[in-house]
Every structure is written in C-alpha cells, then in structure tokens.
C-alpha cells in the first residue's frame, strides 16, 4: 500500500513537535488520554441530541495496557471513533483539530469539556514511539480502519478489524539510548504516576491492569503474580465539588496528597468564580515557613489546570510576590493556551484570574485578622516579614493592599497591634504615630528616648525586624498620621517655650558642650541640650530622615 506523505508544513511541525515544543516526554500520555476523553465526550453530546441513543456512563472508559515483552503501550477508548476520512484529516494533517471543528459545528457553548483545539497533541506520541498504529471504528459504522506511521516520512491507512466502536492506539516504544530512557513508559507504576499527575480529573475511568508479586503461600522463595484491573484516576476533582459537601479534613487531605506541604494548612480558600472570568481554585495558607522560603531557591506559584488537565506545576504569574507563601491550584476553562500548553500566553484571562485571586487572599487574611486573631498571629510569625517586604518593594505600590495586614509590637499591653488599632486609640493631642527601633523589645524598652513619649501616655510601636522601619518609611502616613521615630530631632511634643528654653540652656552651657564635642569628634556631629531626658543622663539622636537603626542596616548591606 502506497505511503501517503504528510503535508510539507506538517513535516516541519512534526519535527518541531518531537524536538522542541514539549519540555517533557511523559506528557504524550496526557495528550492521548485527553483525546480519548474528548472522543467519549463527543459520544455523550451525540446522545444528547439523539433520542435513540442512551449514554450509559459505565460503558465508557479508557484503558492502558503495557506489554514489556513486545515493547508496546496501548491506549484504548470507547469513544466516537474515526472514519477513514477522519483518520486522514485529523491525523494526516498536523495542526488540524477535529475537536475544534466539532465544537464549532455543534455550537457547543458548554462543549467546553472538550480539551482538544490545536491539533498537535497526538503527535507527541512520536517522542516516545518509533511506530504509532491507530485502529478505529467510527460510531455508526461496522468497518474499522488502521492508520500507521513511523513519523515524518508519512502514513498508511488500510481496512482493519475491530469488534467495537472506538479507537485503539498502539505505541511501539523506542529502545533506550545512551541519553534517553524509554523503558519507563512500559512500567505500570510509572505509568500510573503519570496518569495521576496529569489526568487525575479526567471524568471517565482510566483503567490499567496492575501486576503485583506476592510470595506463594507456604513458600519463601517462590512468587506468584496477580493481575488486578485498577482505575487510576479519581475523576471528580475536589474543586468542582460544592463547598457544602466538603469538610476541613477533605481540604487537609488534598493539601497533603498534593504535597503542598507536610504540615496542616492554617486556612483554605475555595473559589468558584463565575463572573467575568470562570475558574475554580483551592488555595491554602500554610502554617509554617518552608525551610527555603526566605531564600532565592523558593519558587512561588500555583498549579494550573485547563479543564481538569494539568498544564503547569508552578504558575508564578498567578501570585504576587507578597503572597508567595500561598499554595494551591487553579482550574479554568477560559485560558487561551498556545499549542504546547506548556507555554501559557500571558493573556488577559490569566491576569484577571491573578487579580481576583489576590483580592480573595487579601480578604481571607483580613477575616482571619478580625475573627481569628490567634491564628492570624501564627500566620504572621511565619510570613509577616514577606508582607513587610511587599510594602517596601515596588516603591510602596502595594501599600494599600498590605498596610492593614501588618502587625507591630506595641508598648501597650506588650501585644501585637495593627496600625488601625494604634490610630483609633490615639489621644486627641497626639500628632504622630511613634515608633522605636531596636534589636529586641527588652533593648527598646531601655532606650532613653522612649520615656518622653510614654510619659505623655502615647503608645509606641516597637520595631524589632530589620525591615520594619523601611516599611513604615514607604507607607509614610497612615490615616493622615505621619510616623515618627522616638529618636528623631523634633518629636512634636515639646512646646515652643521648651525650644526657647533649651536654646537658652545651650548658650549657658556652651563651653561644656564644645568641649564634649571635642572629645567625641568624629563620633557625633553635635552635642546639645535635650528636653527628652527623664531618668537617663544622655541619649543619641539623629538629624534628618534616617534613624540610627536604619543607618546600621544600610551600613551592613552589601553595596
Ligand atoms: P487536538 O486534540 O488539539 O484537536 P490532536 O493532535 O491531539 O489535537 O488530535 C487531532 C484530532 O484527531 C482530534 O481533534 C480528533 O478529531 C482526532 N482524534 C485524536 N485522537 C482521537 C481518538 N482517540 N478518538 C477520536 N478522535 C481522535
Ligand atoms: Mg488532543
């Protein structure tokens, strides 16, 4: 039988397909399973419009069979099948998607369950196979046909035998080479894990015969093999279920199954967005800081699914840096993917989803802060630093989002307080939000400078984290109140008469101050009288914007 040539463009595409579009070989299985699932969906849609046809869900499944001896991997489905014309058109022309045409012809607005649209996924089979044989019998026909190809040099189509409607794809798996391993695609356990990873939520059962070896009864060194058919996928994704059906434990199990973390999550968010952009998401706020969290190695991101099929393990674009601790997944039907699915277009939908997610995380944190303070403080001790960096980075662009999530130690009741709590109880005559920076609360409490402020009955924020003061500088004002370091020159407390008084004290003691300044040359720029001291004889203060603590940090930074 004469071999037909792929169209010229197809040849080039096929080559590209095998060598560069996909980054991982294992995804061939995802593509073939997605096609099989699409083919079953088409049966389902057919049944919807055809009264003579009943769709029994039990009759529809996908079966994977690995044959190590013959090096074949077979994927069989009970879907709609292909006529010889369809074999020719859909498999003979790369980048032609029968599924896209089906969606268009049937005007399936809710035909969105069908995954295929680019017409290239099928060819990923050639990444792992030397020969691909597709035997198919179309619905409504009693004849079957076989399409076979060894890759770029063409394909044949000829009549074949097949008992039932559907498609059977046999891959002759490549031999191992020095650089590449292919044996793994014949290993049942490896195959099962690939299915779990990418296709767990395909809505039809994906079955495989799993072989296990047990010692023969009454014998230590003889084994017997048993074969058991297993369904590999869990089919209904938890994120498509109703929140009311799910318990905290279900979410915790999902968190652990997915290895988002090994601890228990502190809180979860289940989003079912149905507005401008349609998506489902389950997000987690972890309790503990991952060991590499505050390092360059940490990679933020959410798992991204398109219609139940995993597209990306860590989609970083979905999370702003300041919420990089969030774990979880997003599934959307609305994503316009490009042909490889690996490379997402940075499109409008994705941006919309990201924006939406950001505000959901924010409101979850706000409600934790409001209603479950103790939990929030646990969260804050793990990730508060990241929020403060978030305020500081990007020149304060995100301060509106973040400033109400910040907590600082306070001189009042030695508790963590929010800026809002601070401002709401400020006495009327208090002009500024006061803060004092230092290595620890104990140290700050010994600072001479805090006495004047606390004697006035004003609350002081104790900044113990390097980043604290930088974050406040970026916020600049909160509810129209400026921040003021207790060690800054003008505290806004002394009355004008005090100023005159200290000036007169200064001229009276000019000689003493001059000689002190002489002793401390190079260490201080000026010695002057202070109204700020109560029980301490002297204190250090700064002029200008930077406090002593900030200067220390800036000096310690690598330049
Ligand atoms: P896509 O799935 O993006 O359309 P593929 O290259 O994966 O592209 O598949 C090309 C076309 O071949 C599909 O659109 C479909 O019409 C057809 N096809 C592939 N696999 C099957 C199958 N198992 N059963 C029926 N049709 C199939
Ligand atoms: Mg496909």
Question: How far does Cα 136 stand from its chain's mean position?
Answer: 39
pLDDT at 342 over 60: no
Q: Ligand 1 mean position to 234 CA, how many Å?
A: 23
Q: Which residues, at least 6 apart from 23, have a Cβ–Cβ distance to it below 8 Å?
A: 342
Ligand 1 center–CA 218 separation, angstroms: 51
Alpha-carbon distance values, 494 to 497, 530, 532 (Å): 8, 10, 9
Instruction: Please name the residues in contact with 559: beta carbons below 8 A apart, sequence gap of 6 or more.
Output: none
> What was the pLDDT predicted at 507?
75
| Rounded distance from Cα 43 to ligand 1 centre (Å) | 14
Residue 105 pLDDT exceeds 50 = yes
pTM greater than 0.80 (yes/no): no
pLDDT of residue 496: 44
- Give, using CA atoms, the residue closest to atom 2 of ligand 1: 116
The better pLDDT of the pair 198, 107 is held by 198
Distances (CA, A) of 374 to 263, 270, 322, 380, 381: 18, 22, 21, 10, 11
Kindly indicate the confidence band of residue 283, based on its pLDDT and cuts at 50, 70 and 90.
very high
168 marked ligand binding residue? no
Tokens for 224, please give them.
Answer: 């017997």
For range 444-467, the mean pLDDT: 90
For ligand 1, the distance from its centroid to the CA atom of residue 186, given in whole angstroms, is 23
Assess whether the C-beta atom of 98 lies below 6 angstroms from ligand 1. Answer: yes
Percentages helix, strand, coil for the chain, rounded to the nearest 5?
40, 25, 40
Instruction: Round to whole Å and give the CA distance between 129 and 174.
Output: 5
* 211 assigned binding-site residue: no
pLDDT at residue 21 greater than cutoff 80: no
Band (497; pLDDT cuts 50, 70, 90): very low
CB atoms within 10 A of CB 228: 9
pLDDT for position 548: 66
Average pLDDT, the chain: 86
Q: Kindly indicate the confidence band of residue 3, based on its pLDDT and cuts at 50, 70 and 90.
A: confident
State the pLDDT at residue 172: 98
Cα 38 to middle of ligand 2, angstroms? 8
* Top-confidence residue, 449 or 297: 297
Tell whether the model's pLDDT for residue 537 goes beyond 80: no
CA of 117 to the centre of ligand 2 (A): 7
Atom 15 of ligand 1: nearest residue by CA position: 98
Residue 104 known to bind ligand: no
- Length of the chain (residues): 559
Cα of 11 vs centre of ligand 2, distance in Å, is 18
Q: Report helix angle 548-556 to 466-475, nearest 10.
A: 110
Ligand 1 pocket, mutate which of 97, 108, 141, 202 (most atoms under 8 A from CB): 97
With the most atoms of ligand 1 within 8 angstroms of its CB, the residue from 84, 116, 165, 170 to mutate is 116
Confirm or deny that 90 is annotated as ligand binding: yes
Q: Which of 40, 41, 99 to mutate to test the pocket of ligand 1 (most atoms within 8 A of CB)?
A: 99
Segment (H or E) for 485: strand 481-485
Q: Is 120 a pocket residue for ligand 1 (Cβ < 6 Å)?
A: yes
Compute the distance between CA of residue 209 and CA of residue 231 in angstroms, rounded to an integer.
9
Give the model confidence (pLDDT) of 47-101 as tens digits.
877 888 888 888 999 999 999 999 999 999 999 999 999 999 898 776 667 777 7
- pLDDT value at position 116? 67
Ligand 1: atom nearest CA of 36 is: 23
**Banded model confidence at residue 9, pLDDT cuts 50, 70, 90:** low
Report, as an integer, the average pLDDT of 436-450.
90
Report whether residue 167 contacts ligand 1, using a CB cutoff of 6 Å. Answer: yes
Give the tens place of pLDDT for each residue, 131-189: 999 999 999 999 999 999 998 778 999 999 999 999 999 999 999 999 899 999 999 99
Q: Is 92 in the pocket of ligand 1 (CB under 6 A)?
A: no
Query: What burial class does residue 376 get, using C-beta atoms within 10 Å of its C-beta: 0-12 exposed, 13-18 middle, 19+ buried?
Result: buried
**Angle (nearest 5°) at CA 403 between 430 and 475:** 65
Instruction: Extract the runs of DSSP E, i.e. beta strands, from 204-259.
Output: 206-215, 223-231
Q: What is the pLDDT of residues 205-242, one digit of tens each?
A: 999 999 988 888 888 788 888 999 999 998 888 999 99
Q: What value does the mean pLDDT take over residues 433-446? A: 92
* 8 A C-beta contact, residue 230 and residue 207: yes
What residues are neighbours of ligand 2 (ion), with CB under 5 Å? 35, 116, 121
Answer whether 340 contacts ligand 1 (Cβ < 6 A).
no
From atom 13 of ligand 1, which residue's Cα is the shortest distance away?
Answer: 98
């Amino acid at each position: 039988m004469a071999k037909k040539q792929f169209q010229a463009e197809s040849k080039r595409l096929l080559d590209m397909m095998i060598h560069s579009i996909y980054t991982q070989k294992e995804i061939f299985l995802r593509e073939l399973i997605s096609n099989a699932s699409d083919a079953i969906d088409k049966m389902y849609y057919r049944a919807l419009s055809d009264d003579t046809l009943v769709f029994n869900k039990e009759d529809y499944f996908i079966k994977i069979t690995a044959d190590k001896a013959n090096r074949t991997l077979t994927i069989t489905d009970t879907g709609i099948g292909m006529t010889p014309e369809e074999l020719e058109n859909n498999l003979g022309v790369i980048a032609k998607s029968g599924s896209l045409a089906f969606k268009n012809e049937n005007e399936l607005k809710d035909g969105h369950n069908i995954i295929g649209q680019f017409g290239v996924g099928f060819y990923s089979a050639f990444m792992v196979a030397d020969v691909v044989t597709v035997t198919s019998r179309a619905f409504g026909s009693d004849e079957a046909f076989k399409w076979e190809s060894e890759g770029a040099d063409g394909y044949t189509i000829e009549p074949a035998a097949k008992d039932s409607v559907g498609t059977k794809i046999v891959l002759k798996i490549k031999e191992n080479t020095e650089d590449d391993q292919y044996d793994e695609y014949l290993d049942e356990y490896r195959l099962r894990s690939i299915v779990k990873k990418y296709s767990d939520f395909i809505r039809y059962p994906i079955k495989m015969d799993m072989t296990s070896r047990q010692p023969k009864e009454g014998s230590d060194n003889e084994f017997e093999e048993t074969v058991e058919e297993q369904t590999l996928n869990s089919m209904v994704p938890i994120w498509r279920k109703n929140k009311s059906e799910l318990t905290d434990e279900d979410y915790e199990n999902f968190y652990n199954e997915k290895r988002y973390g090994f601890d228990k999550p502190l809180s979860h968010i289940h989003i079912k967005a149905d507005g401008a952009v349609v998506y489902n998401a389950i997000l987690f706020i972890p309790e503990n800081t991952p060991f590499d969290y505050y390092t360059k190695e940490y990679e933020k991101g959410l798992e991204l699914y398109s219609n139940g099929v995993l597209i990306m393990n860590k989609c970083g674009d979905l999370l702003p840096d300041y919420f990089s601790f969030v774990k979880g997944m997003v599934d959307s039907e609305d994503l316009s993917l490009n042909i490889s699915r690996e490379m997402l277009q940075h499109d409008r939908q994705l941006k919309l989803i990201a924006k939406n997610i950001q505000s959901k995380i924010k409101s979850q944190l706000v409600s934790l802060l409001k209603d479950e303070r103790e939990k929030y403080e646990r969260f804050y001790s793990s990730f508060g630093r990241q929020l403060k960096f978030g305020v500081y980075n990007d020149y304060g662009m995100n301060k509106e989002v973040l400033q109400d999530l910040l907590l600082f130690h306070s001189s009042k009741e030695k508790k963590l307080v929010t800026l809002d709590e601070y401002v709401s109880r400020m006495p009327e005559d208090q002009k500024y939000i006061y803060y004092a920076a230092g290595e620890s609360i104990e140290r700050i409490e010994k600072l001479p400078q805090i006495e004047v402020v606390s004697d006035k009955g004003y609350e002081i924020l104790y900044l113990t984290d390097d980043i604290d003061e930088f974050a406040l500088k970026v916020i600049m004002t909160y509810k129209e109140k400026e921040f003021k370091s207790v060690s800054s020159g003008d505290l806004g407390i002394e009355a004008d008469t005090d100023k005159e008084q200290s000036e007169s004290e200064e001229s009276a003691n000019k000689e003493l101050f001059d000689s002190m300044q002489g002793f401390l040359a190079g260490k201080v720029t000026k010695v002057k009288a202070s109204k700020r001291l109560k029980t301490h004889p002297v204190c250090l203060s700064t002029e200008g914007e930077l406090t002593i603590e900030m200067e220390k940090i800036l000096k310690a930074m690598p330049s």
